[in-house]
Structure 1
Amino acid sequence: MRRFTLILTIILLSIRGIMAQEAAADKEDQQSPDTASVFFFHADQRWPGESALKRTADTLLTGFQFYDPAEGTDLLNAVNGNIGLAYKTLIFNPRRSSGFRFSPYNFDAYILNNANIRYYRSFAPYTNIAYSFGKGKEQLFSVTHSQHLARGLSFGVDLRIINSVGLYNRQKSDNSSLALQGQFVTDNERYAVLANYRNNRFKWRENGGIVYDSVFTTNYEADRKRIATWLSNADNLIKESGFQINQFYYFGRNPRLIENPDAVSDTLLNMIKADTGSQIRTAPPGKLFFNPERTNFFRHTFTYTRNALLYTDANPRSGFYPEIYADSVSTFDSVFFHEFTNELIFEGGVGKARGSGKAVLLRAGIEHAFSTYKNDTIIRRFNRLTPFAYISANTFGIAKAEGKIWFSNGAPFNGEKGIAAMLTLPAFDNSTSWGNLYASLALDALQPEYLYQFHTSNHFRWENSFGQQTILSGKVMYKRKYFQTGFNFYNLDGWVYFNENAHPARADGSITISQLYGLADITLGSIGLQAFAIWQNASKSDILRLPDLAGRATATYSVALFKRALYLQTGLSLMFNTAFYADAYMPALRSYYLQNRVETGNYPYVDGFVNLRVKRARLFLVMKHLNSGLSGYNYIMVPSYPMPDRGLRFGVSWNFFD
């Protein structure tokens, strides 16, 4: 009650302060007059097209209530009952990441890595501070800062903290992630450097789930802390850190610079269209920024990544584990691996075409990786060489065809290879007219993650030679304005998974998966609707478990108040998936495995929310799981890990531009 009073007081004081001020009129989906143009891009890793310039949604209210990084309109995940813990996606989407692949990481939404670290472009110092709290002592805190230090030199920082005790015993998450990034461009723009340092630390208390599901499903015990759990002394510690340095040397004609200090609005979204070695740059005089879409360069990338995983349990004889191999008094399972990579890339193109900088673009490169793996007293070292190439052709903006090819030589992923082809019609963004059509076909032969190949610990031990998994995928997608639909098809041969005993196994024969999905974002006056739905079918549902239907729909009503000084959005959000035998979670492996005991799903999760924008601040008030207890207590997404009961969440995000 005290927290609710505090929240209500903050909102009323904010409104009172706004009533004394006069603000310019603006729409919800337009930039607020109390903001500045702040853009970001991701340093592309291997393939072009991954580093487009985007503007931060620093004043957008739509979707602001999704404060959980693992939650969104099209982010559907089965979670372990508390924010910041492991989760498993409800949508099949095999993704191959470069580098030493140890396990199917089930916490990617929380981690800051080379693929998602933002390099900012801001014309004035920019800072965002966000904080939210809720039931179960749930707290999220983040800080973003970006600053142009000198001509051609910029710096940025991202800090994210998640700390939540949870409603059940030993369910606490304690996550912290820090990323520092910098950019430097010489005056003649021939040489540029992008560099980052990151440090992620996740500490989870593991309870193994509740012992008796019936105690929860019958609501026999309303005090969640009194419900017995399997583990009382288990913890997971995950550390990931490293740095990356990208060096670019551009060749060809000197860039053509266009100084325009007044163009700092939405038109920046269409800036930096690289053509024939030219750079269109919109910036105040004296400021120089890295152009992520410029081509004709040689690039060298050096990356260092360090990982340390530790699982401990002071009571291995709890009856939770299938085996105890070494120590029945205390479990102390540590895994350490690190990797150095050097990558050289050439990229160049000729001509120009609508929708892309070059009519024909070629990228070719080679990567060398040196990895060290340590498990208890076992140390293994690996060398791996991966050549790759990419080519695209744009025929007068009518169509764009792309192709990729790569292969690896060296342990522990020896013989991996892949080839892909993509087609875009038309080649430019035609979403405001009749839309764009995308099609792709890919074939990958991959070794399973190293955890499936080799592992030795107090409770699990194996050494396997499964060979390669072959993944054939075909995708078609249509996108127009606020609507998107598509069809995906996968054929998996030799699929490797964790069976009912949480041991690696290889499927006999092939598995086919079909998916049909749709995504809509519609606004009619003050009414808005954001919806995502997907249908999935797997030919061997006893091995690959997926809900047949899953989706989320959010309906909103938006209104401007007090001479548009306050913008308010309220609505309901519903998430649903059909019943299926969801995978269970094994804390000692930080992984999910097959189970045939509990069928989850067939339950709607409804949230009610109010989003507010007050000049430079955004606020949300969310009643999570509004329908808790109204239709039974079968809200479990991961077996033995009930979802939280109804609870109030409050958060604020504040921008500073000076």
Structure 2
Amino acid sequence: MRYIILVFIILSSAAVFGQQDSIPNRKELAAIPKTSKELGRKKDTVAGAEEYKPIVSDYKIVSFYRDTTFVDTTLSIKKEYQYNYLRKDDFELLPFANMGQTYNKLAYNFEPNFFYPKLGAIAKNHNYMEMEDIDYYNVPTPMTDVMFKTVFEEGQFLDILLTFNVSKKFNYAIAYKGFRSYGKYNNSQAEAGNFRTSANYLSENKRYSFRGHIAAQDLINEENGGLSDLEDQFISGDSDFSDRSRIDVNLTDAESKILGKRYFFENQYKLIKKDNDSSVVEKTSLSLGHLFNYETKYYQFTQDSQNDFFGEAFVATDLSDQARLRAFYNQFSAEFYNTTLGRLKANLNVYNYNYSFNSVLITDTETLRSQLKGDEISIGANYQKRIKGFNVKGDFAYNLTGDLTGSILNAEASYVLGDVLSLGAKLHSSSRMPNFNYLLYQSDYSNYNWDNLGAFDKIKTNSLEFNLDAKFLGSLSAKFTTLDNYTYFAVDPSVTVLETESENQFIKPFQETSSVNYIKVKYTKEFKLGNFALDNTVMYQTVSQSSDVLNVPQFTTRNSLYYSKEVFKKAMYLQTGVIFKYFSSYNMNAYNPLLGELYIQNNQSLGGFPLLDFFINAKVQQTRIYLKAEHFNSSFREKDYDYFSAPDNPYRDFIVRFGVVWNFFS
């Protein structure tokens, strides 16, 4: 990965230094004549000749689902929420002490993005970019997006993207996100690298289109298993341990790693295309398409020597568990589009998988296979139709052969009335097997070996969601979810865990036979008065279940009071304020570093502590500057340190961090 970084820097340096941040912001768009604004250009005159300079809205970002946005160089409270390791709002997540470690969940979304089970180690996958996380670009000139942020001891974070237009019809991008952070606690170092490059092409006659990407990613974490003496060394507030590196941890020689490589491309050719004139809106078309995705991925846990924290092991030293998944996915499709009838796409999906370990486990009582291998064939369809402000879309897939999946159905209807009102409803129903690490796992630790393929049933998920977004009332969403055969990790209930033992010795996968009903309601509203604003997000959750297998806080809130103003003769836009976040106490999930998974525990109720952050952000041209004092209220404590991200894993202490985000345009 280091060689990839070196090549990337050499190739991109010339483009970076040859660019400038001269693109007008959104406020300047209002002054552009209507005819020029429709073209997305700013009219200018050079040596008597008229030409059009690009503006921000010309730099388009296209998602995997073909939703289009443009580069946003504004500064807002929403940007503050997204200025983090994941580069998205983490309201429903609770980070661990070091950047790049896992997150605990404050809320859930159970609808799968992909029809088939994944490798597992889900707690380690927050920064792993899936097929649907890669964006494609359509830009008039080369553009660079850079994010930098300080970390927790000895390291930095940098995410850099360069995108180019080789021609009007061909665009490509190259990007790398990398970081290293030593962390405040022993054996908690984290580092990662996410390399991706994407390209998209549209032929001159607009019949043939192509898009594809390559991604190579690695996520590496030292694993300390949490603190071993919480009461005396952390909760008590003993000043001898204010230097967190002095606190004892459970593991000092363990490491986990996720490594993945993916090759993705999609082709589409229009057999029938009316209105070839590019200035005329297409009315009817018929096209054939092919989507190909090949991905290899593995999760590895290594340890220098056996530790009773996980129980007995087959070997005493050089422990190494590695689960590997190699998957081919092909989709063959035919799409019909008509301005009156809408867009209908039918597809045939072929999925080939090989989930494996490097050995076969043989004991006195059983023989554990080393792989799950097979083919899945399914058919599906997608439909979308827009009538003025009303939009309907849906998709379904049904498995014809194979054991991993059953069916999936998504339906959505929405209505938009300008920027005043938006109403929407979503329906989801799916049936599929749990992730592969629930079905089969092998480890050098004797307790972490199981084969549940014949014992576990498909997880059935049904959800209904309503959304309301009104300009003066705020945004409200309500989701109702029912889960059958819900699958989870937990301590084996048949075992009595002694005080001298770690419950991590007895973690197993289980499936709940009774239905689990989950309700999540979220409300967001911002109030403004002059230069002051108060942004509020409140979430309520409740679960109806026979056993405590899904634990969530009942109330979660985030309230941001901030001040915004243009200063220095409008050369800088300044935004400063305080963010308050709180969630009610609940039986927070615990973290298992061997599996890279969170597991259910019902012995400790944690949470109920406020998180206060103070920030000062500024914007100068296309550069946004961020300065934040995180969790500053923790410095007011002298004892009774009770803030945790998971049992035995404290939340972050007070720290000041700095960073920038800036764009360059040619």
Q: Which TM bucket (shorter chain)?
A: 0.7 to 0.9
* 1:173 matched to 2:198: no
> How far is the alpha carbon of 1:373 from its aligned partner?
1.8
Q: Report how many aligned residue pairs link the two structures.
A: 587
CA distance in 2, matches of 1:656, 1:402: 37
In 2, distance between residues paired with 1:157 and 1:529?
Answer: 38
- Asked if 1:516 corresponds to 2:504, the answer is no
Deviations 1:484-528 (A, max 9, x none): 102111111111111123211111311111111112244443223
Question: Aligned-pair distance for 1:127?
Answer: 1.1
Which of 452, 471, 478 is equivalent to 2:461?
471
Distance 1:474 1:601, change over 3 A: same
Q: What are the within-5 Å matches in structure 2 for residues 68-87 of structure 1?
A: 68-70=84-86, 73=89, 75-87=91-103
**Helix, strand or coil for the counterpart of 2:234?**
helix
Normalising by structure 2, we get a TM-score of 0.83
- Counterpart of 1:369 in structure 2 is 351
**1:411 offset after TM fit, Å?**
4.1
Structure 2 residue corresponding to 1:219, chosen from 237, 241, 247? 237
Displacement of 1:364: 1.1
1:34-45 equivalent positions in 2, closer than 5 A? 36-37=56-57, 39-44=59-64
State whether structure 2 residue 614 is matched by structure 1 residue 608. Answer: yes
**Identity of paired residues, percent?**
21
1:636 paired with 2:656, answer: no
1:331 maps to 2:319: yes
Counterparts of 2:155 and 2:534, CA distance in 1? 28
* In 2: Cα distance, 1:113 partner to 1:493 partner: 26
Shift of 1:573: 1.0
**Separation in structure 1 between the aligned mates of residue 199 and residue 478 of structure 2, nearest angstrom:** 39
Partner of 1:487: 478
Matched, 1:193 2:210: yes
Deviations 1:536-590 (A, max 9, x none): 1111361111111113222221111122111111011122110011111111100
8 A Cα contact 2:117 2:433, kept in partner: no
Comparing 86-95 and 514-523, the one that deviates more: 514-523
The normalised TM-score by structure 1 is 0.84
State the 1:404 CA deviation: 2.7
Aligned residue for 1:94, secondary structure, equals coil
**Does residue 319 of structure 2 align to residue 311 of structure 1?**
no
Q: Could you tell me which residue of structure 1 aligns to residue 625 of structure 2?
A: 619
Q: Please name the residue that 1:322 is paired with.
A: 311
**Distance between the aligned counterparts of 1:65 and 1:185, measured in 2?**
35
Note if contact 1:163-1:174 (Cα within 8 Å) is conserved in structure 2: yes
Find the partner of 1:536 among 537, 541, 563.
Answer: 541
The 1-side partners of 2:90 and 2:276 are apart by 39
Cα 1:608–1:351 change in 2 (3 A) is same
Query: Does residue 51 in structure 1 map to residue 66 in structure 2?
Result: yes
- What is aligned with 2:367? none
CA distance in 2, matches of 1:522, 1:296: 48
Residues 394 and 411 in structure 2, CA contact (< 8 A), matched pair in contact too: yes
Q: Using the TM superposition, give the Cα deviation of residue 592 of structure 1 relative to its aligned residue in structure 2, in angstroms.
A: 0.6
Distance 1:612 1:36 in 2: 19
Shift of 1:172: 0.9
Contact 2:26 2:56 in 1 (8 A): no
- Who is 2:602 aligned against? 596
Instruction: Assess if the C-alpha contact under 8 Å between 1:412 and 1:450 holds in 2.
Output: no
Where do residues 281-430 of structure 1 align in structure 2 (5 Å cutoff)?
A: 296-317=286-307, 319-324=308-313, 326-352=314-340, 359-377=341-359, 378-394=370-386, 396-397=387-388, 399-414=390-405, 416-424=406-414, 426=415, 429-430=416-417
CA-CA distance at 1:347 after TM superposition:
1.9
Residue ranges of structure 1 left out of the alignment (5+ in a row): 1-21, 45-49, 259-272, 278-294, 353-358
SS in 2 for 1:195: strand
* C-alpha deviation, 1:30, in angstroms: 9.2
TM-superposition CA deviations, 1:302-328 (whole Å, max 9, x none): 1111102211011222x210342x212
The question of 1:143 aligning with 2:143 is answered no
Shift of 1:43: 4.8
1:339-368 deviations in Å (ceiling 9; x for gaps):
11111122223234xxxxxx4321211111
Question: In 2, Cα distance between the equivalents of 1:26 and 1:381?
Answer: 52
Q: Deviations over 1:90-124 (max 9, x none)?
A: 11210313245122623444222321111112211
Distance across 2 between alignment mates of 1:599 and 1:30 = 53
Match of 1:451 in 2: 437
- Larger mean CA deviation between 513-522 and 339-348 belongs to 513-522
Counterparts of 1:224 and 1:154 in 2: how far apart (Å)?
48
User: What whole-Å deviation, never above 9, does each CA across 1:61-103 have from its counterpart, x for those lacking one?
Assistant: 4334343234755632122321111223211210313245122
Structure 1 residue 255, shift from structure 2 partner:
3.9
Whole-Å separation in 2 of the counterparts to 1:58 and 1:653: 9
Change (3 A) 1:107 1:142: same
Partner of 1:88: 104
Q: Which runs of 5+ in 2 are unaligned?
A: 1-21, 33-41, 43-53, 360-369, 492-505
Evaluate the alpha carbon distance shift between residue 476 and residue 315 of structure 1 in structure 2; reply closer, same or farther with a 3 A threshold. same
Matches of residues 202-241 of structure 1 in structure 2 within 5 Å?
202-214=219-231, 215-220=233-238, 221-241=241-261
1:589-644 per-position Cα deviation (integer Å, ceiling 9, x unaligned) = 00011123332110111110111111232111111111114354111021111112
Distance in 2 separating the partners of 1:404 and 1:296? 19
Once residues 275 and 502 of structure 1 are traced to their aligned partners in structure 2, the CA distance between those partners, rounded to angstroms, is 57
Cα RMSD after superposing both structures: 2.7
Cross-structure match for 1:261: none
Deviation at 1:23, TM superposition (A): 12
Measure the CA separation in 1 of the matches of 2:348 and 2:191: 38
- SS of the residue corresponding to residue 589 of structure 1 reads coil
**Matched residue type, 2:256:** N
The one-letter code sitting in structure 2 at the alignment partner of 1:442 is H
Contact 1:143 1:159 in 2 (8 A): yes
Distance 1:135 1:486 in 2: 35
Contact 1:73 1:553 in 2 (8 A): no
Shift of 1:204: 0.5
Instruction: State whether residues 24 and 55 of structure 2, in contact with CA within 8 Å, keep that contact through their aligned partners in structure 1.
Output: no
Partner amino acid, structure 2, of 1:276: K
Please tell me the residue identity of whatever aligns with 1:329: T
Work out whether residues 60 and 70 of structure 2, in 8 Å CA contact, stay in contact via their aligned partners in 1: yes
Q: Tell me which amino acid in the other structure corresponds to 1:432.
A: D
Distance 2:299 2:179 in 1: 19
Q: In structure 2, do the counterparts of structure 1 residues 207 and 87 end up closer, same or farther at CA, with 3 Å as the change threshold?
A: same
